[in-house]
Structure formats: structure tokens, C-alpha cells
Structure 1
Amino acid sequence: MALSAFRGVLCAEILKTPRKLCGLSLAKSPQTAGCRLLYTPAALGIESFESTRKRTLVQFTHNVEAFKEKMNTCLTTLDKGLVFTEDLKNTIYLTEAEEKDVELVLAMAKKFNQQNAGLRFGAFNFGPLVMRLFFFLNQPQAALKALEAEELEGFFDQMVSYQIAMTLLYNNEQYEDALKVFDLVQERRIGGVRYPKTCFTLALACCYKMNTPESFATAQQLLDSATEYGLVVNRRLICMAAALCLRQGRPQDALTALADARTTTHIAIVSLKVKALSEMDRGNEILPILRSFTQEDLPSTPKWKTNHRILQEAVVSAEEAVARSENKEVRVEFERIVKSLREHDMISDKTIDGVVTEPIEPSQLREKGPRNRERERLAASFYPRNRRTPYYPPAQPQHAPRRGLLDME
């Protein structure tokens, strides 16, 4: 079963409420609006796309319009003209935000998909490239239109295409449309996976951002079905679930969700637990949690840039709960502990929302498996630290599960 935090009984009307499509967002481009991305551009390959785009623009400095006109002519010749791989690549990199340019890319993609039907082996995968273009141009509706087009069936058969599309919709606060894309992921079973962790994280983040009884019900259904399917719920998903519970006024469910976390010392887990206990006026249970930090013997090594252990938002909630208590000893002890935490710089000024939706970097999508370790050992044999004792990275337990890129957080 899923997180037990979501086992509370919900109204049947909520569970049956259909999703309503959001209107077109007026949000600015993610690159200029300063919005908070769940997956960074580097993690989605946008930075690499921009670099190649700049090189292509330099190559076609004085021939951009002529090239586009030639591609339009190619499309009007029906069966006589073919869309070649390099032509489609260049068209994508040369595309601007104008509607005619976007329509040209979609038309060429449809024709390319039609002429190469059944010849997928060895063909270039254009799905992620097209989605990176829409992300770069901030064209969420074009991305959604492309994924739903029957003429492009099989064109977007890489999971990263859906990840980029969902991220684009998420950035533009079109959460319902992002969930609609996740429905396509489940329906099409890309790579035989029904609940890919990247897209599942985005789906749950959309439910968290919407923060409605309907989205809470959707989150419950997603977690129930995903855990029954075999998905391992990681810390980020647990924090999103617990934070959504708190936003919906269900602190007890938040505590139950946090009980499934493998670590109890992460700043998000601790802060959510303290905030949940505070909302339930259980100040006596907060003191041992905070006191444990003051009793830690922290290492004084360069890698410890900060000693933050709890968020200021959680401390404020705890302070309000303690203030409501009639136990003077609890108040005095709480003030002493908080003073010690501040002196040792253990309180962060970040918000719970900021930590829960913290951007995921490329390094968080990689995990070393047996194959990568063998490559490191091979590299170490060619580049030893000294000739006598070559360096070998420490081996990981052989029983550690192997997970691919699409299964990472």
C-alpha cells in the first residue's frame, strides 16, 4: 500500500471529480522570469541545446530564411520530397518563437515520422530535441499539442520527452495539463515503465502546488497505485506528501507519512515533523527532537559549510505551540534550546515550500552501479596516483539494487 498518511477516508465526490484543463498561462519564460524549476535546465539538457543552437545560428548566419523557405517547399511536394535527419535538426535549432516557425517544426516532424514508420532501429531520436526546443521557447501548449498528435505516434518514445514537457507545464503553473501528460505516460508505458520516478515526482509536485481537496485525492490515488506497482517512495516524495497533508490541515496524516522515511535527521523531515507536532499542540514531543541537535558532536571539516538542522518556519510553529502550553518548564527549556540552536547556526531561513520543491540537479539523477564502478577501476589503472599504488574507488555492496537514470530522484 502507499503512504499510510493518505489512508484517511475522503469524500466520494472528491475522488470522482474530473480534472479541468487550465487556461493558457501568461507566465514569462522560465529563463527570464526567475521561477523555481523542479528540474534544472542542466538536468533536462537545455544548456547543451542552447550551445548547439548558437553554433547552428553562426553556421546559417545569412541563410536562415532561405533554409526555412526550402523546408517549406519540401513539405509542399508531398511524396516527392523527403525530410532528412540533418534538415530537421537544423530546423529545430533555427526555430524562433514565431508561430510559423513552430508550425514548420511540427509539420516536418510529422512527415519525418510518417516516412520512417517501422524503421526505428538506428534512427535519431527527435522527441527530446523537439521538447527541449519548446522548453527553450517557453511553448507549453505546443508541447502538449505535439504529444497528443496522432501523426506523431511513436515519435516521443523516450521518457525524457515527457519529463521535459511536464517540467515546462509545471513551470508555467499548468498543473492540470502536466497531470494530463502523466496520464499519457501511464497509458503508453514508455520503456515498459508505468511509474517512472522523474515524471511521478513531477505529478506529485503538481498536486502539492495545486493544494486542493481534489489534488489531495489525486495524490492519494497516485501513491496508492504506485506503491502497489512496486515504486519505492523516496525522501522527496515523502516530504511532498507530508507537506501537502499539512497544507490541507491534516497534521496527523503528515506524521504518519514521515514515519516511512528512512532517515530522520534530514532538515525537511525534521522540520515537517516539528511543524506537524506543533499544529497538534504536542510541545512535549518537540523538545527531545530539538534537544538532540544541541547534544551532537559535529565534525569541524571543510565539507561542513553549514550546521543547519531545522527550518525557521518550523521553529516559529513550535514557539507558537509552546506558548499555548501552560507548562512553564516546557517554555523555559524550549527557549534555552532555541537559543543554543541559534548560537550554533543550526536554524535555516529557508521555507518548507522551498525545500520540498528544491531544484533537482544532474548529479542527483546519477547513481553509481557495478558497471560504472568497473569503468572507474579501469580508468584508475591508467591514471594512478603513483606508480606503486594505483587508486581504486571504494566498492559498493554487491547486493545494492541497480537503478537506471529514469528511476533516479
Structure 2
Amino acid sequence: MANTILSVFTRPMARSYLKSLNNIPMFLVHNRSIVCPELLGIRCLFAKAALGIDGYIQMQEQIRNQMASVADRFKEKMLEYSAENSNNMIFTEDLKNMVHLADSDDDIKVVINMIKKYNKQNKSMRFGNYIFGPVVMRMFHIHKKADLALECFKSPELSNFFDQYGSYQILCDILYESQKYKEVLETVQIIKEKQGEGLRYPKNVIVLALASCYKMNTKESLEYALKLWHELREIGHYPTRKATTFCTALAINQGKPEIALEILSSARNSGYTTVRNLRVLALSMIGRIEDIIPILKSVLRVDSPEGQLHTFNRDVLAKVKEAVDLSENHQVILEFTRLMELFEKQKLISEQTLDNDLCTEIQISRSNQNNQMQFLSRRPQQKFQRPVERPSLYDLV
């Protein structure tokens, strides 16, 4: 086991390694979870507004209203113009209208033919600066066309057409919502190969990659996640809290609480609910029961200006209780029981599962959208260093 993960850390993440993920039996997904992923329904990780889909729908309604009387004839013309043997050019305005009018599989095929032809046209004929990549991806998203979206992204005929941070995120989100987790990782690898050093890790794409690893919940997905984590830290990038907690939860589910605690040590907000719950869960797994009590007590003395309660998840506390009882430390058992009574009285126990909190939909304000689309933040002139006496992730595997 140690040699397997160490070898992944020390070699490039080649596509051959990604292909090996395709051999994972699907019955292993969600197996032996401690943080149990929801099995029913498809959870959205990013809110529609964060992907610009709300704006797409508004424009769609506007164009459909404007062209209601001519839409069918317009579509027929676009079918004719997009044919390979047609000498007609594809103009920006026509493509814009067709992307928003598409409402059937046939219409989407026309759009695909149009963008291929549009991409081939002499760039000197394009006088506008309209960027179609994210808009076309939004079309695929609302029509739930994950396979087509990935096929177009990989198509040589559409080289550079989808090379925008927005397109990357929307594509990975389509694949994630379609539960195509291995395809998310494949897409991330393509993005890394397309972009230069320092620009290969769009922060929201990294969140989706680690969320996919968490959902896969296998030894191989943990290896991938740790390799990606190591790459980020090597160049001084600091993953977001969401990415951090997905990676931590995966390590816990794969029986690696030591790795989970190391990952959590880089969390920017140690008091955040998911960070706090994951920490006590990992500590309980390695038998450090005494260290859990101060963390539990910490929520009793927190006064939030918004009146928001700082809570622990009931499913996490149930796991902690099992570890406390097994410890046979009567003093800790009494203190834990007293704290549980206080938590019940003060309503500090959340009925939401930890998985539900981990996968809470991400809202991104418009003012923060451009920054969130781009690559992970870098702390100036600071590279991740660990004290010599502390074990590295390599040593913990």
C-alpha cells in the first residue's frame, strides 16, 4: 500500500494512470464509508447562478420571445448553413441565437455543426469579441448532455474553442451532476496539459475534482486526490476549504485518519462546521479521545453576531460516542455524556449528515465570480514547509 501511493506521488499523473480508474468496479463506490455519501438523488455542487445558467435562461427567454414567429424558419436556415457542403458563413449573431433557441437533440446537433464551422472560419472575419465556450457549455448543462459536452471539449475541430475557466468549470459540473466522476478527472488532466505552470489549477475545477474523488471513495481515487494535493502544495497553491474537506473526508472513508488530520492542518478556518466535525471524527479513529473534548467544548462559548449556532452533526457524534465508549476512560465518558446533554439542551446538534454539509451547494456572488473562476490563490513568497519532526503524507500512508 505504501509503495503504491508513494509511487503515485513521485511520478507524473499520466493519462495511463487515469485510465486505470476505469477498471474500478462500481459496487466499490460508497463502500465502507464513515462519512456516508448520499445514495439517492443527484446533488448540485454549484448553484446555477454561480455557473451563469440563470443569465443564460434569461437570454434564452428574451431571444425566443423576439424570434417566436420566425424560429422554425431560422432553424431550417441554420441547418442548411451548417452543412459541410455549404459555402455560407456562420455569423456570430446567428450562432448566438441558435445556441439559445436549441430545444431538441436535432437543434443541438445543428449547434455543434455550427460551432465547428465557426471555429474553422478565418479569424480575420470575426470582428466581435463574443466568447462562445461557456455559453455552449451552459446549453449542454441545461439539456443534460454530459457526453456531448465532453466530446466537443476533446474534439480537434474545436481546438481552443472551450479554453476558458468558465467552460472548464461548467463542463466538470455537468459531468459531476451526471455522476461521471472518472470523466471529471480525465477532464482535469486535459486542462492541466492545456495550461501553463501556475494556471493549470482553476480553483472551482479542483473542488469538482476532489468532490468526484470523494464520491468514488476508492483506494485509487484517494491516490489521485493525494497526488493532486501534493502538486498544488509543491507550487505554493492553497486549496479552498471545500476542496480541503472533500479530500479529508475521502481519507477518513479510506481508513487514513492520520492523512486526514495532516490535510486539515492547512484549513484556513479551523472553526468551520465541516472542518470541526471532520477533525473530531479523525481523532476518534486514532483513539485520541482526550483531544476531542476541548473541540466539543469550543462550541459552547461561541457567540455568533448573527445568532447562528455552532453545531456538530449527529452522525459524527454517534461515531465519536462509539470511540469514547471503547476507550473505557470513565472520566472522558462522563465528560462526553455531560456535553451531549448540554448540546441537546442548547440545540447544538445538527440533524443534517456530515455528507450533506460537505456537499452543500456553493453560492458565488457576481462580484466574486471572475476571481472564483480562476486559479488557486498563492501566498506570496511562501511555500508549504512542514517541521522536520512532523511526519509527511508519505510517512503516514
| TM-score w.r.t. length of structure 1 | 0.80
CA distance change for structure 1 residues 242 and 94 in 2, over 3 Å: closer, same or farther? same
Matched, 1:86 2:127: no
Larger Rg: 1
User: 1:158·1:190 contact (CA, 8 Å) conserved in 2?
Assistant: no
For 1:168 and 1:190, locate their aligned partners in 2 and report how far apart those are by CA, in whole Å. Answer: 25
User: 2:203·2:373 contact (CA, 8 Å) conserved in 1?
Assistant: no
For 2:369 and 2:173, locate their aligned partners in 1 and report how far apart those are by CA, in whole Å. Answer: 22
Q: What amino acid is aligned across from residue 406 of structure 1 in structure 2? A: Q
Specify which of 70, 79, 84 is matched with residue 63 of structure 1.
70
User: 1:308·1:348 contact (CA, 8 Å) conserved in 2?
Assistant: no
1:132-174 deviations in whole A, cap 9, x for unaligned? 0000100001101110111111211211101100000000000
For 1:351 and 1:268, locate their aligned partners in 2 and report how far apart those are by CA, in whole Å. Answer: 10
Match of 1:326 in 2: 328
For 2:123 and 2:220, locate their aligned partners in 1 and report how far apart those are by CA, in whole Å. Answer: 40
User: 2:8·2:227 contact (CA, 8 Å) conserved in 1?
Assistant: no
SS of corresponding position for 1:265: coil
Match of 1:406 in 2: 374
Measure how far apart 1:208 and its partner are: 1.1
Measure how far apart 1:216 and its partner are: 0.7
For 1:114 and 1:205, locate their aligned partners in 2 and report how far apart those are by CA, in whole Å. Answer: 36
CA distance change for structure 1 residues 88 and 199 in 2, over 3 Å: closer, same or farther? same
User: 1:17·1:214 contact (CA, 8 Å) conserved in 2?
Assistant: no
- Unaligned 5+ segments in structure 2 are 10-16, 27-39, 378-397
User: 1:245·1:253 contact (CA, 8 Å) conserved in 2?
Assistant: yes
Match of 1:245 in 2: 251
SS of corresponding position for 2:131: coil
Count of residue pairs brought into register by the alignment: 356
User: 1:266·1:309 contact (CA, 8 Å) conserved in 2?
Assistant: no
- Unaligned 5+ segments in structure 1 are 1-6, 26-32, 369-402
Match of 1:198 in 2: 204
Measure how far apart 1:77 and its partner are: 7.4
Matched, 1:293 2:299: yes
Aligned-residue Cα RMSD (Å) equals: 2.9
SS of corresponding position for 1:18: helix
| TM-score w.r.t. length of structure 2 | 0.82
Q: How does 1:143-154 map to 2 (within 5 A)?
A: 143-154=149-160
CA distance change for structure 1 residues 352 and 144 in 2, over 3 Å: closer, same or farther? same
Match of 2:355 in 1: 353
For 2:23 and 2:69, locate their aligned partners in 1 and report how far apart those are by CA, in whole Å. Answer: 41
User: 1:163·1:198 contact (CA, 8 Å) conserved in 2?
Assistant: yes
Specify which of 4, 15, 19 is matched with residue 10 of structure 1.
4
User: 1:167·1:202 contact (CA, 8 Å) conserved in 2?
Assistant: yes
CA distance change for structure 1 residues 77 and 187 in 2, over 3 Å: closer, same or farther? closer
Report percent identity of matched pairs. 33
For 1:119 and 1:325, locate their aligned partners in 2 and report how far apart those are by CA, in whole Å. Answer: 74
User: 1:158·1:191 contact (CA, 8 Å) conserved in 2?
Assistant: no
Specify which of 314, 320, 338 is matched with residue 340 of structure 2.
338
For 1:338 and 1:141, locate their aligned partners in 2 and report how far apart those are by CA, in whole Å. Answer: 48
Match of 2:395 in 1: none
1:65-122 deviations in whole A, cap 9, x for unaligned? 2111111222347463111111101111111232x21211011001111114367774
Measure how far apart 1:215 and its partner are: 0.7
Q: How does 1:248-287 map to 2 (within 5 A)?
A: 248-287=254-293
Select the structure with the greater relative contact order (CA < 8 A; seq sep ≥ 6). 2
CA distance change for structure 1 residues 274 and 20 in 2, over 3 Å: closer, same or farther? closer
CA distance change for structure 1 residues 321 and 12 in 2, over 3 Å: closer, same or farther? closer
